[in-house]
Amino acid sequence: MTWLYVALSLNIVVLVTLAAIVWRLHSHLKRLRESTAELGGGERSFPPEWREQGPRTLITLEILNPLSLVAERSWIGGKFSALSPGLMRRIVLTQTRDQLRNGLKENGVEVDVRLVRLG
């Protein structure tokens, strides 16, 4: 019977610990939501030199098959993409950004190439 009391006591300790962790995570999430509401509440502002140039036109690019690109170009990358697809997508996007920047610079195009996450 004493082992039953020990197991029950251990379960209570674990339950209280988990409740404390959940409470801390909940309060942290609440603070993050408040801070992101302050950041994203207004309209996006552009640097003054952009506003002086008038309306701007942007070219967007979305890579629809980053993981298949990794699998085609590297056998180990293809295996690793199953374990960490987010990392592989980021690597493909970063390499694409760098290649675009370098290729356009070679052709004399002044360009600001950035990775922007939507959503």
pLDDT the model gives residue 45:
63
Token look-up 């992101």 returns 36
Q: What does the radius of gyration of the chain's CA atoms come to, in whole angstroms?
A: 25
Q: Residue 85 CB: number of other CB atoms within 10 A?
A: 13
**Rounded CA gap, 94 and 24, in Å?**
35
pTM: 0.51
**Rounded CA gap, 102 and 6, in Å?**
66
Tokens for 56, please give them.
């701007």
pLDDT the model gives residue 13:
93
Q: Identify how many contiguous H helices and E strands the chain contains and give both numbers.
A: 5, 0
pLDDT the model gives residue 108:
93
Tens of each residue's pLDDT in the chain, 119 residues: 788 888 899 999 999 999 999 999 888 888 888 777 666 555 556 667 666 667 777 788 888 988 888 888 877 777 777 778 888 888 888 999 999 999 999 999 988 888 877 76
